[in-house]
């Protein structure tokens, strides 16, 4: 079975590119310098700074490979170029649950998920339940607490947020 496409908005694409640049030009060189210094101190077998630095380099390299692979497979979709009242990737939706709580969600890529900011993956159970639906439709989806039902109130396609200039990837 083939992998599903890696749909991503311009926001997510730029964020991933910036993280890759940060890893290549800031974080990795800094950690390499720290490891080199720690190695120069002698016995590496009991050198905590050296051992931790090598571990951190492996983490950086693993993350870098992941980002490169995801960027190679990325299919950028800009929500501002879309229109209509049918839910698809890039939509901003307003839904009401069984308790009458109204929430707004943006349906973006898997690499862009930020529940606190109202961003869902297009592959999440809620987003999949809404795909292809129009305002007034009721959808059911499986949640950790069981089967849930929501009503789709509104669908719109908006510009993606701007990335801040001071975006930080450090831990």
Q: Please list the pLDDT of the chain residue by residue as tens digits (171 residues).
A: 677 789 999 999 999 999 999 999 999 999 999 999 988 887 777 888 899 999 999 999 999 999 999 999 999 999 999 999 999 999 999 999 999 999 999 999 999 999 999 999 999 999 999 999 999 999 999 989 899 999 999 999 999 888 777 667 765
The Cα–Cα gap between 21 and 18 comes to 5
The Cα–Cα gap between 82 and 95 comes to 20
Residue 13 sits at φ, ψ, to 5 deg, of -65, -45
The Cα–Cα gap between 132 and 10 comes to 22
* Token duo for residue 171: 């831990």
What interhelical angle do 48-72 and 10-22 show, nearest 10?
Answer: 150
Report field, pTM of the whole predicted structure over 0.85? no
The Cα–Cα gap between 22 and 74 comes to 19
Return the number of other C-beta atoms located less than 10 Å from residue 36's C-beta.
11
The Cα–Cα gap between 45 and 38 comes to 11
Q: Tell me if 130 sits within 8 A of 152, measured CB to CB.
A: yes
Q: In a 3-state reduction of DSSP, which class is residue 95?
A: strand
CA distances from 16 to 47, 50, 110 (A): 33, 29, 12
What are the chain's domains?
Answer: 6-76 (1.10.287.180), 79-156 (3.10.50.30)
Q: In a 3-state reduction of DSSP, which class is residue 113?
A: coil
Return the number of other C-beta atoms located less than 10 Å from residue 17's C-beta.
14
Length of the chain: 171
């Amino acid at each position: 079975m083939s992998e599903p496409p890696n749909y991503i908005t311009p926001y997510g694409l730029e964020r991933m590119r910036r993280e890759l640049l940060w890893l290549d030009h800031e974080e990795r060189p800094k950690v390499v310098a720290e490891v080199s210094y720690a190695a120069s101190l002698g016995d590496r077998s009991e050198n905590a700074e050296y051992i931790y630095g090598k571990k951190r380099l492996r983490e950086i390299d693993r993350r870098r490979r992941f980002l490169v692979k995801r960027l190679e497979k990325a299919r950028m979709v800009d929500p501002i170029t879309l229109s209509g009242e049918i839910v698809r990737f890039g939509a901003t939706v307003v839904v009401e649950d069984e308790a009458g709580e109204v929430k707004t969600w943006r349906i973006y890529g898997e690499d862009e998920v930020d529940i606190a900011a109202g961003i869902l993956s297009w592959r999440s159970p809620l987003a999949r339940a809404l795909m292809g639906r129009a305002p007034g439709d009721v959808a059911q989806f499986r949640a950790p607490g069981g089967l849930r039902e929501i009503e789709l109130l509104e669908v719109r396609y908006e510009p993606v947020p701007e990335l801040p200039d001071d975006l930080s990837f450090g831990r």
